[in-house]
Amino acid sequence: GAVVSQHPSWVICKSGTSVKIECRSLDFQATTMFWYRQFPKQSLMLMATSNEGSKATYEQGVEKDKFLINHASLTLSTLTVTSAHPEDSSFYICSATRTESSYEQYFGPGTRLTVT
């Protein structure tokens, strides 16, 4: 149990366009979802925390207007990269926690974004 999926797994988009990444908890209701960004050979950098039905809390330095996060239901959160530029190319990972175990995050497989 506790499976998190992400879609798409890999996306290529042109500079200036927007791209949406979905994160779903498949077999549990996610109290909280997290979005991370990971550069090659580096650690995970937390971008934002989202709770269902409320606005996401962004980490310092993360542009909330560029990285729009919507947590529409207890099983779905989306990250939209608006007006993408090549420097937004990265690996994006989501995770989710269950109500009964807020200390444990279940990670999605990640999405590789390439902006050309």
Partner 1 sequence: AQTVTQSQPEMSVQEAETVTLSCTYDTSESDYYLFWYKQPPSRQMILVIRQEAYKQQNATENRFSVNFQKAAKSFSLKISDSQLGDAAMYFCAYFSSSGTYKYIFGTGTRLKVLA
What three-state secondary structure class fits 9?
coil
Residue 43 or 54: which CB sits closer to partner 1? 43
The only residue of 53, 65, 86, 103 in contact with partner 1, by rule CB under 8 A: 103
The only residue of 11, 13, 46, 68 in contact with partner 1, by rule CB under 8 A: 46
Contact by Cβ (8 Å): 21, 7: yes
Q: Supply the minimum distance, in Å, between the C-beta of residue 109 and partner 1.
A: 5
Contact by Cβ (8 Å): 106, 25: yes
Contact by Cβ (8 Å): 113, 21: yes
Closest CA to 46 of 92, 7, 10: 92
60 lies in the binding site for partner 1 (CB under 8 A): no
Q: Which residues bind partner 1 (CB under 8 A)?
A: 32, 34, 38, 41-44, 46, 49, 91, 93, 95, 97, 102-105, 107, 109-110
